[in-house]
A and B are shown apart, each in its own frame.
Chain A
Amino acid sequence: EDQVTQSPEALRLQEGESSSLNCSYTVSGLRGLFWYRQDPGKGPEFLFTLYSAGEEKEKERLKATLTKKESFLHITAPKPEDSATYLCAVQPYSGAGSYQLTFGKGTKLSVIP
């Protein structure tokens, strides 16, 4: 069974204080690892897809990295508008065209001005 564990559950940062969120996973065969951002009362917003160990992707103050067992979302010099819940999900290889995502519980990030 595919499993995703995110840590910490919650993180409070001062504006400008860089940090990292962790996503540990077990999956039979990884097709892709996804990061989403979710604001209160809204659906998840797509950020990144990573496909193989060693891959990195960046968007503004966010950088996602991937190893064979975990992924990190690095946040550099965060701003209050980066406050949200960040969700990690894995998509395994499976037959019959299934693209199921298995999500972690998320990390709730609060950036204090």
Chain B
Amino acid sequence: EAGVAQSPRYKIIEKRQSVAFWCNPISGHATLYWYQQILGQGPKLLIQFQNNGVVDDSQLPKDRFSAERLKGVDSTLKIQPAKLEDSAVYLCASSLAGTQYFGPGTRLTVL
């Protein structure tokens, strides 16, 4: 069974630029999550989707971050404009029930 796919794996941008990350969950998983992991910290949830609806986005900085999950499968997370403090690994996870399975992440560096 294929795991969670993410792209790109690495991205370097200047502050105030925009960036987008893509995630393809495990086939059949209705729930999809985006996490932010800053170096030396555990992952922090940004947003949870159930199919193509948002369940929890309470920790998403909505002035600069947006996410969508069209057709209830793939998802895109966007940052516009980026700040230095957005440098982190962005992890996508999916689940069928309670256990979440993670992708390899996208490492973002903002200069």
Complexed CA–CA distance, A83 and B92 (Å):
23
Is the beta-carbon distance between A106 and B42 smaller than 8 angstroms?
A: yes
Q: A101 → chain B, closest Cβ, in Å?
A: 6
Is the beta-carbon distance between A42 and B105 smaller than 8 angstroms?
A: yes
8 Å CB interface, A84-111 against B: 87, 89, 91, 96-106
Q: Which secondary structure dominates where chain B touches chain A? A: strand
Q: Which of A11-19, A43-51, A54-62 contacts B (4 or more CB under 8 A)?
A: A43-51
Is the beta-carbon distance between A101 and B45 smaller than 8 angstroms?
A: yes
Complexed CA–CA distance, A75 and B98 (Å):
25
Tell me the count of chain A residues lying within 8 A, CB to CB, of chain B: 26
Q: A100 → chain B, closest Cβ, in Å?
A: 5
**Smallest CB gap from B101: residue in A:** A46
Is the beta-carbon distance between A46 and B100 smaller than 8 angstroms?
A: yes
Complexed CA–CA distance, A102 and B42 (Å):
8
Is the beta-carbon distance between A97 and B50 smaller than 8 angstroms?
A: yes
Is the beta-carbon distance between B102 and A45 smaller than 8 angstroms?
A: yes
Given the contacts A99-B98, A100-B56, A42 and B104 also touching, CB distance less than 8 Å: yes
Given the contacts A4-B42, A43-B104, A100 and B48 also touching, CB distance less than 8 Å: yes
- B99 / chain A contacts, CB cutoff of 8 Å: 34, 46, 49
- B48 / chain A contacts, CB cutoff of 8 Å: 98-100
Report 5 cross-chain contacts, Cβ distance below 8 Å, ordered by A residue.
Answer: A34-B99, A41-B107, A46-B102, A98-B55, A102-B45
> 4 tightest A-B contacts by CB?
A103-B42, A43-B102, A98-B56, A44-B102
**Apart from A4-B42, A36-B102, A43-B91, what 4 extra A-B contacts exist at CB < 8 Å?**
A46-B99, A96-B55, A103-B43, A105-B42
